[in-house]
Amino acid sequence: MAEPIVQFDEVRYRYPTGTQALDGVTLAVAPGERVALAGPNGAGKSTLVLAMAGFLRAGGTIRVAGHRLTPGSARDVRRHLGLVFQDADDQLFMPRLADDVAFGPATMGLEADEVDARVREALAAVGLDGFGDRVPYHLSVGEKRRAALATVLAMQPQILVLDEPSSDLDPRGRRRLIDLLNGLGATLLVVTHDLDLAVETCGRTVVMDAGRVVADGPTAEVLADADLAAAHGLEVPYRLKGQGDA
């Protein structure tokens, strides 16, 4: 088996309020794998992502692209991650969209010509050719979502992490997002309540509840399990209904 590109070993985190958000999470992700993180609100999904990026200091061991996460290595670890937040406005803050997309590559110290090339490539990849001079807050919800993804793609990360990428999208925007994700070659982690999106984009699903991993396997098998879904606040996706009884 290939060396995992992401590995969590007995990862624990307790919020200052006393809530145990992560309670011994252990899992590994192989290079190029596409994994959905599912579970009810408060399951620990987003907390796990924040811990992986070094924004929370969790117990246990986290390795990303061969680097063990420590307070001193967090900045280097984040160079391998492309984190797309649930609210696109958290990532779009410049007066021009092109400036937002250029921000990451520029902070990496790349030459101006390389930065410009990455901006063009990233905007083209998300279907926003010609949008570089647009004001980000004038974009539609779906356009903002794709623009936020472009800011991450421009940095050419090995691992893409998306937190609830389909929230607030209309059917056309959601379909465009699914097609876009299916065209990407990077390792993919998707935190989502949209289990039909998980079926269409991720070959593997990890279900979390109360800070623990309660199921891990092929998406079509895990999400078709009606008893598992009922026990952990989920619903079997429409396209999988009936399969878990076979």
The pLDDT assigned to 245 comes to 53
CATH, domain 1-80+157-246, list 3.30.70.270, 3.40.50.720, 3.40.47.10, 3.40.50.300: 3.40.50.300
Number of CB atoms found within 10 A of residue 52's CB: 26
Model confidence at 242, pLDDT cuts 50, 70, 90, reads low
CA dihedral 36, 61, 44, 87 (to 10 degrees): -70
The pLDDT assigned to 244 comes to 55
The predicted model gives 116-122 an average pLDDT of: 95
Q: 113: part of which helix (H) or strand (E)?
A: helix 112-125
Angstrom distance (rounded) from CA 153 to CA 174: 19
Model confidence at 246, pLDDT cuts 50, 70, 90, reads very low
pLDDT at residue 88 greater than cutoff 90: no
CA dihedral 59, 65, 67, 68 (to 10 degrees): 10
pLDDT in tens, 95-113: 999 999 999 999 888 999 9
Beta bridge partners of 5: none
Domain definitions of the chain by residue range: 1-80+157-246, 88-156
pLDDT in tens, 160-176: 999 999 988 889 889 98
First-last CA distance in the chain:
31
Torsion sign, CA atoms 85, 87, 88, 90:
negative
For the chain, give the mean pLDDT: 92
